[in-house]
Chains A and B, each alone.
Chain A
């Protein structure tokens, strides 16, 4: 199928890429056989300890130099001051931390009412209900304070990420050299596991909300940069020329012409910033940020599944609310007012928002319940839910099913697979990966694969890296086994496509942490739970891109198949799937990226992979080790990313779809 097609003329002395790949596979198999026969020298099986360079220490030296000798720490601690002030400010307003300006907390009813008004302004009654409802749920279930802790960081981190991303985006668009510098950094940043953001934040900024806010901000910047440059590049040339002919200076061009015309893309960027911030702010629980994430972590740790579930619902509701509202903002276009509309009518929504806020604030002075839902007043059903869940898990067939899955998958499939991967000699493994990259993508990708995986081998964390890879691969394969059929089925009708796409879209906005909850509920704290949580997380893009790939097959091609008298199955196999394959590959790639991301989070459950080591580094100040581990994950992820995306692009070009 793929690029067995000869790329380089197979003249004398040349081998085609495919022949080379086959040769590599043979060498790898030969090594594996030797290993099984016990005659492979040990230094070929694993890189010997003695020659592994101590990257971690070197990095530590560099970091220490940057930190102490260059005085960066002084600088960052200086920045911390300003940031801390902002965070304290919002902390006071949102949940009443005793800091300047000492006015908070806002009554929950006032916040809920304002959320409803904003929802109504952006998208009518439905969003009003979603906005108000989310807030009411959060308060009544007794999570108001922790939710507001999370929101108070979000309201600082998101605008910060927006402002920095926008400026960098403008710079990258304006100066090609900035673009050239930023591009590779962005692609690494996007595959870097989030733990790698956390530790430097802790070291350079203070533990707690400040470090959390910094990590969150940095994490959310890349998509803002990308969307800004994209939007600015798309501004129509005549609009630009009209600006120039009006005599705009450069500054005026940017402010009055470019940025307003790129409104849509910039707002899409805002949506992504908000969602990434939310996802990350929840995860900063790992470095001691109080809030929804910390609470969830504690509840899951003590196996209080009922409360975990409730917190999960709160997080999901918040995510859906923020996503829907910011997306509604993207499509909301300005509407004109008739001439002579009085001022109060033009700003009616703003006034309404103010009115309900003031109204409820005053009311809550009289009725304390409207200001704060006290202890014992909330409607949390944690215990009852616990019992229900336990009862459910104890139902005979459920027990049998999960027990069977656990036993069968673990003993028959997963463990043997893991052991097999671990038994492959390091050079053999690298050869297999390179052969994979060479045969489906090309020489450039193969060279990258070689370099990247060799670095992983030299990092000294090979076995843990392989276990990470094992979790990713098994989860993605299982996800494909479920996700692809669902996607193919849904793509058969418009109605089902829309429904499933809506579910996927919504699921994609959930902070990844939430996916752990059902996994732990069903499988307890086991390996299977890890795989299961990755599996659901990775299934989303797989299903989604399968549907999109199949639905965008040009109609005349399916019609041609119909006219040739193809059955449904024939049409699927010989027309739709081949044409949808490049798009599906993009989904596959995203699934792998998601899996790498999730596997690190799932380390919380307790695994023996890189994730767990990474989590351990957070406890101390092992910055060097933290980076080595993070970069190992990033390198493996990048290898797949490059290879699969190249294949998809080639394929698209070949099919004339690009």
Chain B
């Protein structure tokens, strides 16, 4: 990706909950653990996180419940004021941004889907979806048109005049999604946006977001507990524990080279063959023989060929150009589980 400045760039961000977090952070020694901080009466929601999110990228944040995912995303959108560190959105420092600029930034750039939907209880589906448009001062007719369009997109046609309490959990969640779709923001924060959806609609929604991201080059920060979902969507995955980011990398790297024991454990049960692509196993410059594989093929997809083939090195291409070759044994090791534990 050839983008100069990252869309979101955060450095050493801390978010501490408690009576006087700023003072506590200033006087705190750097190596205090989560438990020690808790013993002092504070909760470290986000601990010293530095991450860049690039334009057009989909960053997926994973981690156990209470690990600080929602808190981190709230820092990105400055729903929380950070306790320490800096966050810049498209080069603008948002930590010190004035209220008016912040409102302008949110109106023009950001959208968010909330974990528990955050629907306004006194407004109908249509009015909820049109709410951000209304706040921007769009005229009644245009915003109604647009709202109807996205309500249809999320499959809630015919329910436009219902109130949130008259809808099921999944339907409410779709209202939340529609509300953020309505404004097509450049930066999208999605906090477990599909958790209440049935598998069919969930897949549809995932496809919709992938389409938007690729077509319109949107930047998306996505929280989920579902690994399959993460693998389907993610350019990179960040894994959080006790407020800190343990590792932030591509899915292949995370399963192949876990940075910490925690990440290893976290990814233990994943079928690596479904994650790892040919491109990752390729040794550059080496020349193989015979037909070339596409770099995006997963080990799982080439399983039959791997077993039947007898080549040592299989050539790999990216698009039309050859980039190198993949040792068949490495791929087989991933498919069958290797003797060694490590690569």
Partner of A257, one of B120, B160, B176: B120
Which of A109-117, A244-252, A288-296 is the contact stretch? A244-252
Chain B stretch 88-127: residues in CB contact (< 8 A) with chain A: 99, 103-104, 106-107, 110-112, 114-124
Report if A252-B118 is in contact (Cβ < 8 Å); known contacts: A247-B103, A336-B162, A338-B161: no
**Interface bits A328-365 vs B (CB < 8 Å: 1, else 0):** 00000111111100000000000000000000000000
Partner of B122, one of A250, A261, A337: A261
Q: How close is B109's CB to chain A, nearest CB, in angstroms?
A: 10
Q: How close is A258's CB to chain B, nearest CB, in angstroms?
A: 10
Q: How close is A14's CB to chain B, nearest CB, in angstroms?
A: 30
Which residues of the other chain, B, contact A239 by a CB distance below 8 angstroms?
118-121
Q: Is the CB of B161 within 8 A of A247?
A: no
Q: Is the CB of B163 within 8 A of A334?
A: yes
Q: Is the CB of A242 within 8 A of B120?
A: yes
Partner of A246, one of B104, B122, B132, B165: B132
Q: How close is A332's CB to chain B, nearest CB, in angstroms?
A: 12
Point out which of B104, B112, B135 has the most chain A C-beta atoms below 10 A from its C-beta: B135
**Interface bits B173-196 vs A (CB < 8 Å: 1, else 0):** 000100100000000000000000
Q: Does A260 contact B (CB under 8 A)?
A: yes
Which residues of the other chain, A, contact B79 by a CB distance below 8 angstroms?
241, 244-245
Report if A336-B166 is in contact (Cβ < 8 Å); known contacts: A244-B79, A247-B132: yes
Chain A stretch 207-260: residues in CB contact (< 8 A) with chain B: 236, 238-239, 241-250, 252, 256-257, 260
Partner of A336, one of B110, B115, B124: B124
Inter-chain CA distance A260–B123, complex, in Å, is 9
Q: Is the CB of A244 within 8 A of B165?
A: no
Partner of A242, one of B74, B118, B166: B118
Report if A245-B77 is in contact (Cβ < 8 Å); known contacts: A238-B116, A333-B165, A336-B163: yes
Inter-chain CA distance A430–B76, complex, in Å, is 61
Inter-chain CA distance A247–B132, complex, in Å, is 7
Which residues of the other chain, B, contact A337 by a CB distance below 8 angstroms?
161
Which residues of the other chain, A, contact B319 by a CB distance below 8 angstroms?
none
Q: Is the CB of A238 within 8 A of B117?
A: yes
Q: How close is B92's CB to chain A, nearest CB, in angstroms?
A: 16
Closest Cβ neighbor of B127 among chain A residues:
A256
Inter-chain CA distance A238–B70, complex, in Å, is 11
Chain A residues within 8 Å of chain B by Cβ, number: 26
Q: Is the CB of A245 within 8 A of B117?
A: no
Closest Cβ neighbor of B77 among chain A residues:
A245
Q: Is the CB of A244 within 8 A of B106?
A: yes
Q: Is the CB of A246 within 8 A of B115?
A: no
Q: Is the CB of A246 within 8 A of B135?
A: yes
Report if A334-B118 is in contact (Cβ < 8 Å); known contacts: A245-B110, A245-B112, A246-B135: no
Q: Is the CB of A336 within 8 A of B122?
A: no
Inter-chain CA distance A531–B116, complex, in Å, is 55
**Interface bits A379-417 vs B (CB < 8 Å: 1, else 0):** 000000000000000000000000000000000000000
Inter-chain CA distance A242–B118, complex, in Å, is 6
Inter-chain CA distance A247–B185, complex, in Å, is 12
Q: Does A263 contact B (CB under 8 A)?
A: yes
Which residues of the other chain, B, contact A339 by a CB distance below 8 angstroms?
158, 160-161
Closest Cβ neighbor of A263 among chain B residues:
B122
Q: How close is B54's CB to chain A, nearest CB, in angstroms?
A: 22
Partner of B163, one of A242, A245, A249, A333: A333
Q: Does B222 contact A (CB under 8 A)?
A: no
Inter-chain CA distance A335–B164, complex, in Å, is 11
Partner of A247, one of B74, B121, B135, B165: B135
Which residues of the other chain, A, contact B110 by a CB distance below 8 angstroms?
245
Q: How close is B281's CB to chain A, nearest CB, in angstroms?
A: 42
Q: How close is A339's CB to chain B, nearest CB, in angstroms?
A: 6
Q: Does B131 contact A (CB under 8 A)?
A: yes
Partner of B115, one of A238, A243, A248, A333: A238
Q: How close is B2's CB to chain A, nearest CB, in angstroms?
A: 30
Chain B stretch 127-150: residues in CB contact (< 8 A) with chain A: 131-132, 134-136
Q: How close is A217's CB to chain B, nearest CB, in angstroms?
A: 28
Which residues of the other chain, B, contact A263 by a CB distance below 8 angstroms?
121-122
Point out which of B77, B112, B160 has the most chain A C-beta atoms below 10 A from its C-beta: B112
Report if A256-B131 is in contact (Cβ < 8 Å); known contacts: A247-B136, A336-B162: yes
Q: Is the CB of B135 within 8 A of A248?
A: yes
Closest Cβ neighbor of B112 among chain A residues:
A245
Which residues of the other chain, B, contact A245 by a CB distance below 8 angstroms?
77, 79, 106, 110-112, 132
Excluding A239-B119, A336-B161, 14 further A-B contacts by CB distance (< 8 Å) are A242-B119, A242-B120, A246-B131, A247-B132, A248-B135, A249-B103, A256-B120, A257-B120, A261-B122, A263-B122, A334-B122, A334-B163, A335-B163, A337-B161
What 8 pairs across the A-B complex have the smallest Cβ distances?
A247-B107, A238-B118, A242-B118, A246-B132, A260-B122, A336-B161, A245-B112, A247-B106
Q: List 5 A-B contacts (CB under 8 A).
A: A241-B112, A242-B118, A244-B79, A334-B122, A334-B163
